[in-house]
Structure 1
């Protein structure tokens, strides 16, 4: 059952990531990967909310599998973040690459913390 919940969540998260990324990037004329950053920060926030709710007994393991593991696992993307950072570096946009790493980490942890705080 858990595997099916993860798959169901992922089936919703992956297309949403793609559409959101394309939507953001089509409206921002920038080298910086704002779309990927956006989905990763939102996903981190949701994982913070879900984790806090789970720890406090307000969400069961099935919902954690569906939302945090499946949906957020497919919504967020470490591989695209890594690829885009490497592409920026190889294209000579080293400050953008460095900024992408720093901002992604700080914003992701801050979003997860905010989600946790909100749900606690």
Structure 2
């Protein structure tokens, strides 16, 4: 699996890379300490989480290569991903959007959260 981060999307994420943080592609389904949901839900979406370099996050046990470096993710969330994905800027609302080569839009509004002080 691979992720292409389009140039405008890179601009939104570059500061975290420059600060030496690890990026997680999180499927926020209520699993794990970093979940906003807290319990299992039908409103599952992808988000990007910046954490301190090398922070132990046992739930994020796989790595996805991208043109910005690797993103860690929960291995079981692959069933919700496409083999080739793109992170783009939605021209209408300027939000990040995750799109798959087969499925189309996976998450229309991908939030970015910096949890490096917590995680």
Please identify the structure whose Cα radius of gyration is greater. Answer: 1
TM-score by length of 1: 0.26
- Please state which structure has a larger fraction of its residues in strand: 2
- Please state which structure has a larger fraction of its residues in helix: 1
Give the number of the structure with larger relative contact order, counting CA–CA contacts within 8 Å between residues 6 or more apart.
1
TM-score by length of 2: 0.26
